[in-house]
Amino acid sequence: MIKAIFLFILAGLAEIGGGYLIWQWQREGASSWLGLLGGIALVLYGVIATWQSFPDFGRVYAAYGGIFIVLSLFWAWWVDKKMPDTYDWIGGLVCLIGVAVMLWPRS
């Protein structure tokens, strides 16, 4: 389970970071090199997600979605300096509970 969590976080950082770099390039007028690096990060995100050991594509991506939401809140807080409010954190907690339910071992 530790490996799965690590891979979810790594994939999330690649996706959010890649999207952020492309945002900076397209919306904020940053260097096109940032756009290229963002594209590379997004490709890496797609590859990293395949390293999960879960057999079902849909379940992995559904669970990853919950992790992505929480990582996005932290990104907003740490990188964009926009503090999520109480409702954002409650929503993130609900998503993590959903992730736990989806990945709960089945017999």
Domain segments of the chain as ranges: 1-103
Q: What is the pLDDT of residues 23-74, one digit of tens each?
A: 999 999 999 999 999 999 999 999 998 998 888 888 888 989 999 999 999 9
pTM (two decimals): 0.86
C-alpha separations of 81 from 7, 22, 73, 76 in Å: 25, 18, 10, 6
- What does the angle CA 73 – CA 74 – CA 80 come to, to the nearest 5 degrees? 90
Work out the mean pLDDT of the chain and round it to a whole number. Answer: 93
